[in-house]
Amino acid sequence: MESRLLVLLLAVAASLAVAPALAQTVDINGVPVVVDPDLDRRDVRQPRIDSENFEIGVHGGLMSIEDFGTNSSVAVRFTYHIAGGFFAEAAYGQSEGGTTSFERLSGSAPLLTDEEREFTYYDLSFGYDILPGEVFIGSSRAFNTALYLLAGAGSTTFGGDDRFTITVGAGVRFLMTDAFAVHLDVRDRLFDIDLLGEDKTAHNFDTTLGFSFFF
Amino acid sequence: MNFLRLALFALLLAAQPLQAREYRKAVVAEPYLELRTGPAKGYPVVQVVERGGHIEIIKSRTDWYKVRADDDREGWVRRSEMELTLNDGGEFTTFEEDDFSDYESRRWEMGALTGDFAGANVISIYGGYAFTANLSAELWVSQALGSFSNSTFTSINLLHQTFPDWRFSPYFTLGAGVIRTSPNATLIETEDRTDEMAHAGIGIRAYINRHFLLRAEYKSYVVFTSRDENEEPNEWKAGFSFFF
């Protein structure tokens, strides 16, 4: 009697224990599952890759303003590297015009006020690294470089007017490290000016040395 | 001696944060992976990592990744080659950031365009916000530099992009704004004037890569002058934009 009760209890217990297991051995299509992988999916969080497509730099040098002499110039340039050597750049800079030889020789009243001699510009350009390369310093050091060309448009305030300005230039970027570069640039800013009696296109060459960071 | 030990300990502590940076890892699956000296195809291949070699991805620049191999060799690898390496899970490496799907779900956009406004050269910058994939609002500030006068104008635009899932996607725009015109300094003094204006336009956006677009558009303006006749300048311009 007791043993029969024990068997019954065991049977009930066994069926209870087996029931959930039985329920799991068939997949949604009714096909029995032989191996039931009971794995916790790993929550994979990949470390972020640091992208360095932006570049900001300060540049200083000499600007030769046509008819108005050569003076120091400063500029801030912000660059976005797009792909395949192409980049877009926004620049803002300042210089100052001196006196024309006409003003000095004739002794007449100055053509411009001091405020009008201030030369400020902004422009937006597209550039292309046409000659990527390396320079070697000593026997164990190599630095990446790129010779780039660029062209753009902007506005220059000089001589009492805002003047539409085309910028063309070339420069060399020396990468001291992956994120720090030294630039040597020559840019010509062209605009139309009629201050000296005739309409003409003025070429204003700006030669600069600069430092920039990639981030 | 004690001092030396202390100094070493301090040095170790100082070095700790540098080591803490964890880089994404990958395993080379092709016969070999070429490492170049710089992030462009013009730079020479100077190292290779063989199949099964482990690499860490240090940083990216445009479509190039700087990687470091087990033995500390470093070099730049093109994105398409990185995508043939395997990650921890044995799957091909993918780079989740920056593709066309981001463009479709963009919210903010800014850019700069240049071109011609009624014979004057024009430079414009704008910022925009997309309410839906189709409809966005933009604020434009432009400077037109002509032979006789310069003008600055600001306008608010509504823009409808009919096919937002196209890579070359046309749009229509309507807007209104204010234009301030000042004659050039060398001309006889005339007064600056400020007028209201409205415009309609069409344009096209081209998705280039990552967060970068090219954009070109044509707008037809009506300037409500205080004189008898309204002016109707036309404008076309082209430029580039970023979205994020």
pTM (2 d.p.):
0.75
Smallest Cα distance from A95 to chain B, Å: 20
Confirm or reject contact between A142 and chain B (CB < 8 A): yes
DSSP one-letter string for B106-150: --EEEEEEEEEETTEEEEEEEEEEESSSSEEEEEEEEEEE-SSEE
Asked if B186's CB is within 8 angstroms of A164's CB, the reply is no
Mind telling me how many Å the CA of A105 is from chain B's nearest CA? 23
B62/A155 CB distance under 8 A: no
Q: Which residues of A touch B239 (CB under 8 A)?
A: 124
Q: Which of residues 126-155 of B touch A (CB under 8 A)?
A: 143, 145, 147, 150
Q: pLDDT higher for A121 or A30?
A: A121
Task: State whether A83 and B59 contact (CB < 8 Å).
Answer: no
Q: Do A83 and B209 touch (CB under 8 A)?
A: yes
* A177 to chain B: closest CA residue: B38
> In the predicted model, is pLDDT for residue A120 greater than 80?
yes
The predicted model gives A116-139 an average pLDDT of 91
Question: Looking at CA atoms only, how far is residue B129 from chain A in angstroms?
Answer: 21
A138-142, A153-157, B188-192 — which is least confidently predicted?
Answer: B188-192
Q: Is the pLDDT higher at B75 or at A102?
A: B75
How large is the average pLDDT for residues A186-201? 88
User: Quick one: pLDDT band at residue A14, thresholds 50, 70, 90?
Assistant: low
B38·A134 Cβ contact <8 A: yes
**Binary contact (B23, A47; C-beta < 8 A):** yes
User: What is the three-state SS of chain A?
Assistant: CHHHHHHHHHHHHHHHHHHHHHHHCECCCCCECCCCCCCCCCCCCCCCCEECCEEEEEEEEEEECCCCCEEEEEEEEEEEEEECCEEEEEEEEEEECCCCHHHHHHCCCCCCCHHHHEEEEEEEEEEEEEEEEEEEECCCEEEEEEEEEEEEEEEEEECCEEEEEEEEEEEEEEECCCCEEEEEEEEEEEEEECCCCCCEEEEEEEEEEEEEEEC
pLDDT at B242 (0 to 100): 86
Residue B84's Cβ-count burial label (10 Å; 0-12, 13-18, 19+) is middle
Does residue A149 register a pLDDT over 80? yes
- Measured between its terminal Cα atoms, the distance across chain A in Å is 85
pLDDT range class, residue A144, cuts 50, 70, 90: very high
Burial of A74 (0-12, 13-18, 19+ CB in 10 A): middle
pLDDT at B172: 94
Task: Say if residue A174's pLDDT is above 80.
Answer: yes
Q: Give yes or no for a contact between B60 and A50, defined as CB atoms under 8 angstroms apart.
A: yes
pLDDT of residue A2: 60
Residue A20 confidence (pLDDT) above 80: no
A192 contact residues in B (CB cutoff 8 A): 147
Summarize the confidence of residues A66-79 as an average pLDDT.
93
The larger pLDDT score, comparing residue B233 to residue A34, is at B233
Alpha carbon distances (Å) from B174 to B29, B113, B168 = 53, 18, 20
Rounded average pLDDT per 10-residue block, chain B, 244 residues: 58 52 84 90 88 89 89 89 84 73 82 91 92 92 87 93 89 94 71 88 88 91 85 91 84
Distance in Å, alpha carbon of B150 to nearest chain A alpha carbon: 7
The per-residue pLDDT for B192 is: 74
> Above 0.90 for ipTM, yes or no?
no
pLDDT of A206: 94
Interface probe with A: pick from B99, B117, B121, most Cβ of A within 10 Å = B121
Within an 8 Å CB–CB cutoff, is residue A195 touching chain B? yes
